[in-house]
Structure 1
Amino acid sequence: MNNSTSSSSLPSSPSVASSGFLSDREVKKIEKIMARAAAADEKELDSALDDVKKAEKALSKSSKDAERAQKLVTKTKERELAAQKEFNKALGKLTNAKEKERKAQEALAAKEAHHAETDRTARQAQADLGDCQRAMEANVKDRETRLAEIRAQCGVSVTPVI
Protein backbone atom coordinates (compact mmCIF):
# COMPACT_ATOMS: atom_id res chain seq x y z
CA MET A 1 0.00 0.00 0.00
CA ASN A 2 1.21 3.41 -0.85
CA ASN A 3 1.42 5.76 2.13
CA SER A 4 2.02 8.94 0.16
CA THR A 5 -0.58 10.72 2.25
CA SER A 6 0.80 9.89 5.65
CA SER A 7 0.91 11.72 8.91
CA SER A 8 3.90 13.72 7.69
CA SER A 9 1.49 15.88 5.67
CA LEU A 10 -0.35 16.78 8.83
CA PRO A 11 0.50 20.22 10.17
CA SER A 12 3.09 20.16 12.80
CA SER A 13 1.80 20.58 16.25
CA PRO A 14 3.55 23.73 17.48
CA SER A 15 0.16 25.34 17.98
CA VAL A 16 -0.92 22.28 19.95
CA ALA A 17 2.19 22.49 22.02
CA SER A 18 1.92 26.20 22.59
CA SER A 19 -1.81 26.48 23.27
CA GLY A 20 -2.86 22.87 23.78
CA PHE A 21 -5.84 23.30 21.43
CA LEU A 22 -6.32 23.27 17.68
CA SER A 23 -8.27 25.88 15.88
CA ASP A 24 -11.38 24.95 13.88
CA ARG A 25 -9.51 25.70 10.72
CA GLU A 26 -6.68 23.35 11.67
CA VAL A 27 -9.14 20.63 12.70
CA LYS A 28 -10.98 20.92 9.36
CA LYS A 29 -7.65 20.81 7.54
CA ILE A 30 -6.64 17.68 9.45
CA GLU A 31 -10.06 16.10 8.85
CA LYS A 32 -9.76 16.88 5.14
CA ILE A 33 -6.27 15.37 5.01
CA MET A 34 -7.44 12.29 6.90
CA ALA A 35 -10.49 11.95 4.63
CA ARG A 36 -8.19 12.10 1.60
CA ALA A 37 -5.90 9.51 3.19
CA ALA A 38 -8.92 7.27 3.94
CA ALA A 39 -10.19 7.70 0.37
CA ALA A 40 -6.73 6.90 -1.00
CA ASP A 41 -6.55 3.85 1.28
CA GLU A 42 -10.03 2.78 0.14
CA LYS A 43 -9.05 3.27 -3.50
CA GLU A 44 -5.84 1.32 -2.95
CA LEU A 45 -7.79 -1.44 -1.19
CA ASP A 46 -10.32 -1.57 -4.06
CA SER A 47 -7.46 -1.76 -6.54
CA ALA A 48 -5.83 -4.55 -4.52
CA LEU A 49 -9.18 -6.41 -4.38
CA ASP A 50 -9.54 -6.02 -8.15
CA ASP A 51 -6.00 -7.36 -8.58
CA VAL A 52 -6.83 -10.33 -6.32
CA LYS A 53 -10.04 -11.03 -8.28
CA LYS A 54 -8.13 -10.84 -11.57
CA ALA A 55 -5.42 -13.13 -10.19
CA GLU A 56 -8.03 -15.62 -8.91
CA LYS A 57 -9.82 -15.51 -12.27
CA ALA A 58 -6.51 -16.07 -14.08
CA LEU A 59 -5.70 -18.91 -11.67
CA SER A 60 -9.10 -20.50 -12.29
CA LYS A 61 -8.67 -20.15 -16.05
CA SER A 62 -5.15 -21.53 -15.80
CA SER A 63 -6.45 -24.46 -13.73
CA LYS A 64 -9.15 -25.21 -16.29
CA ASP A 65 -6.63 -24.93 -19.11
CA ALA A 66 -4.32 -27.33 -17.27
CA GLU A 67 -7.21 -29.79 -16.76
CA ARG A 68 -8.11 -29.57 -20.46
CA ALA A 69 -4.48 -30.08 -21.40
CA GLN A 70 -4.25 -33.10 -19.08
CA LYS A 71 -7.42 -34.56 -20.61
CA LEU A 72 -5.96 -34.00 -24.06
CA VAL A 73 -2.72 -35.70 -23.02
CA THR A 74 -4.72 -38.62 -21.61
CA LYS A 75 -6.83 -38.92 -24.77
CA THR A 76 -3.75 -38.67 -26.94
CA LYS A 77 -2.03 -41.42 -24.94
CA GLU A 78 -5.14 -43.59 -25.22
CA ARG A 79 -5.24 -43.02 -28.97
CA GLU A 80 -1.54 -43.77 -29.21
CA LEU A 81 -2.00 -47.02 -27.28
CA ALA A 82 -4.97 -47.96 -29.48
CA ALA A 83 -2.94 -47.18 -32.60
CA GLN A 84 -0.01 -49.21 -31.25
CA LYS A 85 -2.39 -52.08 -30.50
CA GLU A 86 -3.83 -51.91 -34.04
CA PHE A 87 -0.31 -51.69 -35.45
CA ASN A 88 0.76 -54.77 -33.50
CA LYS A 89 -2.38 -56.58 -34.64
CA ALA A 90 -1.70 -55.64 -38.27
CA LEU A 91 1.94 -56.62 -37.87
CA GLY A 92 0.83 -60.01 -36.53
CA LYS A 93 -1.51 -60.44 -39.49
CA LEU A 94 1.29 -59.46 -41.85
CA THR A 95 3.63 -61.97 -40.22
CA ASN A 96 0.97 -64.69 -40.50
CA ALA A 97 0.30 -63.79 -44.12
CA LYS A 98 4.03 -63.92 -44.92
CA GLU A 99 4.30 -67.31 -43.21
CA LYS A 100 1.31 -68.61 -45.19
CA GLU A 101 2.84 -67.23 -48.38
CA ARG A 102 6.17 -68.92 -47.57
CA LYS A 103 4.41 -72.25 -46.94
CA ALA A 104 2.38 -71.83 -50.14
CA GLN A 105 5.59 -71.11 -52.08
CA GLU A 106 7.17 -74.23 -50.59
CA ALA A 107 4.08 -76.29 -51.48
CA LEU A 108 4.06 -74.82 -55.00
CA ALA A 109 7.76 -75.60 -55.44
CA ALA A 110 7.18 -79.17 -54.21
CA LYS A 111 4.20 -79.60 -56.55
CA GLU A 112 6.16 -78.14 -59.47
CA ALA A 113 9.06 -80.50 -58.69
CA HIS A 114 6.63 -83.42 -58.46
CA HIS A 115 5.00 -82.32 -61.74
CA ALA A 116 8.42 -82.09 -63.43
CA GLU A 117 9.37 -85.55 -62.11
CA THR A 118 6.01 -86.98 -63.21
CA ASP A 119 6.42 -85.35 -66.64
CA ARG A 120 9.95 -86.78 -66.95
CA THR A 121 8.68 -90.20 -65.86
CA ALA A 122 5.81 -90.03 -68.37
CA ARG A 123 8.15 -89.01 -71.20
CA GLN A 124 10.54 -91.82 -70.26
CA ALA A 125 7.64 -94.29 -70.16
CA GLN A 126 6.53 -93.09 -73.62
CA ALA A 127 10.09 -93.45 -74.91
CA ASP A 128 10.32 -96.93 -73.35
CA LEU A 129 6.94 -97.83 -74.88
CA GLY A 130 8.17 -96.64 -78.29
CA ASP A 131 11.34 -98.70 -77.89
CA CYS A 132 9.28 -101.72 -76.80
CA GLN A 133 6.89 -101.33 -79.76
CA ARG A 134 9.77 -101.04 -82.22
CA ALA A 135 11.45 -104.07 -80.64
CA MET A 136 8.18 -105.98 -80.81
CA GLU A 137 7.67 -105.04 -84.46
CA ALA A 138 11.25 -106.06 -85.20
CA ASN A 139 10.70 -109.36 -83.38
CA VAL A 140 7.44 -109.95 -85.28
CA LYS A 141 9.22 -109.33 -88.60
CA ASP A 142 12.13 -111.50 -87.50
CA ARG A 143 9.78 -114.37 -86.54
CA GLU A 144 7.85 -114.02 -89.77
CA THR A 145 11.08 -114.05 -91.74
CA ARG A 146 12.41 -117.14 -89.93
CA LEU A 147 9.06 -118.85 -90.18
CA ALA A 148 8.99 -118.12 -93.90
CA GLU A 149 12.52 -119.51 -94.22
CA ILE A 150 11.57 -122.65 -92.30
CA ARG A 151 8.48 -123.17 -94.45
CA ALA A 152 10.49 -122.59 -97.58
CA GLN A 153 13.03 -125.18 -96.47
CA CYS A 154 10.33 -127.65 -95.57
CA GLY A 155 8.22 -126.93 -98.63
CA VAL A 156 5.13 -125.94 -96.72
CA SER A 157 2.84 -123.51 -98.42
CA VAL A 158 1.58 -120.53 -96.59
CA THR A 159 -2.16 -120.29 -96.13
CA PRO A 160 -3.36 -117.07 -94.76
CA VAL A 161 -5.41 -117.39 -91.61
CA ILE A 162 -8.56 -115.40 -91.71
Structure 2
Amino acid sequence: MERIIGFEPIVHGDDTILILGSMPSEESLKQNMYYANKTNRFWKILTSLYQRPSNTLEEKFALLEYAHIALWDICHSCVRQTSADAKIRDVMANDIDSLLQKNPSIQRIICNGKTSYHNLCHFFPQLIEKTIVCPSTSAANAKFSLEDLIYEYERVLKNE
Protein backbone atom coordinates (compact mmCIF):
# COMPACT_ATOMS: atom_id res chain seq x y z
CA MET A 1 0.00 0.00 0.00
CA GLU A 2 1.13 3.48 -0.82
CA ARG A 3 1.71 6.18 1.81
CA ILE A 4 -0.91 8.94 1.67
CA ILE A 5 0.08 12.54 2.38
CA GLY A 6 -2.49 15.03 3.67
CA PHE A 7 -2.96 18.76 3.17
CA GLU A 8 -1.30 21.86 4.51
CA PRO A 9 -3.21 23.68 7.26
CA ILE A 10 -5.69 26.43 6.55
CA VAL A 11 -4.88 29.30 8.91
CA HIS A 12 -5.75 32.97 8.92
CA GLY A 13 -3.55 34.55 11.60
CA ASP A 14 -6.37 35.37 14.04
CA ASP A 15 -8.00 31.98 14.44
CA THR A 16 -9.14 31.03 17.92
CA ILE A 17 -10.08 27.42 17.17
CA LEU A 18 -8.24 24.61 15.42
CA ILE A 19 -10.37 21.77 14.09
CA LEU A 20 -8.35 18.61 13.56
CA GLY A 21 -9.53 15.78 11.38
CA SER A 22 -7.71 12.49 10.98
CA MET A 23 -6.75 12.23 7.30
CA PRO A 24 -8.51 13.48 4.15
CA SER A 25 -10.76 10.92 2.48
CA GLU A 26 -9.96 9.59 -0.98
CA GLU A 27 -12.53 12.00 -2.42
CA SER A 28 -11.06 14.96 -0.52
CA LEU A 29 -7.57 14.09 -1.76
CA LYS A 30 -8.91 13.81 -5.31
CA GLN A 31 -10.62 17.22 -5.06
CA ASN A 32 -7.74 18.76 -3.08
CA MET A 33 -10.01 20.11 -0.33
CA TYR A 34 -10.90 19.19 3.22
CA TYR A 35 -14.22 17.37 3.64
CA ALA A 36 -14.94 17.31 -0.09
CA ASN A 37 -17.01 14.14 0.06
CA LYS A 38 -20.62 15.24 -0.43
CA THR A 39 -21.79 12.82 2.26
CA ASN A 40 -19.55 14.37 4.92
CA ARG A 41 -21.56 16.81 6.99
CA PHE A 42 -18.71 19.15 8.05
CA TRP A 43 -19.57 22.06 5.75
CA LYS A 44 -23.32 21.70 6.39
CA ILE A 45 -22.67 22.07 10.12
CA LEU A 46 -20.54 25.20 9.74
CA THR A 47 -22.99 26.70 7.25
CA SER A 48 -25.82 26.17 9.71
CA LEU A 49 -23.91 27.57 12.69
CA TYR A 50 -22.48 30.65 11.00
CA GLN A 51 -25.18 31.30 8.37
CA ARG A 52 -22.58 31.53 5.61
CA PRO A 53 -22.58 29.63 2.30
CA SER A 54 -20.03 26.89 1.65
CA ASN A 55 -20.79 25.78 -1.91
CA THR A 56 -17.53 26.87 -3.54
CA LEU A 57 -13.93 26.63 -2.45
CA GLU A 58 -13.84 30.40 -1.97
CA GLU A 59 -16.96 30.31 0.21
CA LYS A 60 -15.47 27.54 2.35
CA PHE A 61 -12.29 29.53 2.93
CA ALA A 62 -14.34 32.65 3.71
CA LEU A 63 -16.53 30.72 6.16
CA LEU A 64 -13.50 29.44 8.06
CA GLU A 65 -11.99 32.92 8.16
CA TYR A 66 -15.27 34.46 9.35
CA ALA A 67 -15.55 31.88 12.14
CA HIS A 68 -11.85 32.22 13.12
CA ILE A 69 -11.35 28.50 12.55
CA ALA A 70 -8.09 26.93 11.43
CA LEU A 71 -8.32 23.51 9.82
CA TRP A 72 -5.81 20.67 9.65
CA ASP A 73 -5.46 16.93 10.19
CA ILE A 74 -3.56 15.09 12.87
CA CYS A 75 -1.97 12.81 10.25
CA HIS A 76 0.68 14.25 7.99
CA SER A 77 0.85 10.89 6.27
CA CYS A 78 -0.29 7.33 6.80
CA VAL A 79 -1.01 4.06 5.10
CA ARG A 80 -4.72 3.42 4.64
CA GLN A 81 -7.03 1.13 2.70
CA THR A 82 -10.14 2.99 1.54
CA SER A 83 -11.19 6.18 3.35
CA ALA A 84 -12.12 4.55 6.64
CA ASP A 85 -10.41 5.95 9.73
CA ALA A 86 -10.33 2.41 11.14
CA LYS A 87 -7.98 1.48 8.28
CA ILE A 88 -5.37 4.17 9.12
CA ARG A 89 -1.95 2.67 9.92
CA ASP A 90 1.66 3.82 10.32
CA VAL A 91 0.80 7.45 11.18
CA MET A 92 3.30 10.27 10.90
CA ALA A 93 1.78 13.25 12.73
CA ASN A 94 1.64 16.84 11.58
CA ASP A 95 3.61 19.33 13.68
CA ILE A 96 0.67 20.63 15.69
CA ASP A 97 2.97 22.20 18.31
CA SER A 98 4.67 24.34 15.68
CA LEU A 99 1.33 25.45 14.24
CA LEU A 100 0.14 26.52 17.69
CA GLN A 101 3.39 28.39 18.40
CA LYS A 102 3.05 30.31 15.12
CA ASN A 103 -0.65 31.00 15.82
CA PRO A 104 -0.92 31.89 19.52
CA SER A 105 -4.49 33.15 19.11
CA ILE A 106 -5.64 29.50 18.85
CA GLN A 107 -6.96 28.65 22.29
CA ARG A 108 -8.99 25.50 21.65
CA ILE A 109 -8.58 22.35 19.61
CA ILE A 110 -11.60 20.41 18.44
CA CYS A 111 -11.02 16.89 17.18
CA ASN A 112 -13.44 15.81 14.47
CA GLY A 113 -13.95 12.25 15.64
CA LYS A 114 -12.28 9.72 17.90
CA THR A 115 -9.48 8.77 15.51
CA SER A 116 -8.23 12.34 15.45
CA TYR A 117 -8.48 12.54 19.24
CA HIS A 118 -6.73 9.21 19.90
CA ASN A 119 -3.85 10.22 17.65
CA LEU A 120 -3.62 13.64 19.29
CA CYS A 121 -3.46 11.95 22.71
CA HIS A 122 -0.72 9.63 21.46
CA PHE A 123 1.46 12.24 19.72
CA PHE A 124 0.62 15.39 21.71
CA PRO A 125 -0.48 14.47 25.25
CA GLN A 126 0.42 17.98 26.38
CA LEU A 127 -2.50 19.32 24.30
CA ILE A 128 -5.23 17.16 25.86
CA GLU A 129 -6.30 19.89 28.32
CA LYS A 130 -7.15 22.35 25.54
CA THR A 131 -8.81 19.71 23.34
CA ILE A 132 -12.45 18.75 22.96
CA VAL A 133 -13.53 15.72 20.95
CA CYS A 134 -16.69 16.00 18.84
CA PRO A 135 -18.44 13.24 16.92
CA SER A 136 -17.10 12.57 13.45
CA THR A 137 -18.90 14.44 10.69
CA SER A 138 -18.43 11.48 8.36
CA ALA A 139 -21.53 9.79 6.98
CA ALA A 140 -20.04 6.56 8.33
CA ASN A 141 -20.95 7.93 11.76
CA ALA A 142 -24.64 7.18 11.24
CA LYS A 143 -25.26 7.22 14.99
CA PHE A 144 -25.47 11.03 14.77
CA SER A 145 -27.99 12.84 12.60
CA LEU A 146 -27.12 16.18 11.04
CA GLU A 147 -29.21 17.88 13.75
CA ASP A 148 -27.32 16.00 16.48
CA LEU A 149 -23.99 17.05 14.98
CA ILE A 150 -25.07 20.69 14.69
CA TYR A 151 -26.02 20.61 18.37
CA GLU A 152 -22.71 19.01 19.43
CA TYR A 153 -20.56 21.38 17.37
CA GLU A 154 -22.55 24.43 18.44
CA ARG A 155 -21.88 23.59 22.09
CA VAL A 156 -18.12 23.79 21.55
CA LEU A 157 -17.81 26.32 18.72
CA LYS A 158 -20.18 28.90 20.15
CA ASN A 159 -19.04 28.43 23.77
CA GLU A 160 -16.43 31.16 23.62
Alignment TM class, shorter chain as reference: under 0.3
Q: Which has the larger radius of gyration?
A: 1
Bigger helix share:
1
- Normalised by the length of structure 2, the TM-score is 0.17
Bigger strand share:
2
- Normalised by the length of structure 1, the TM-score is 0.17
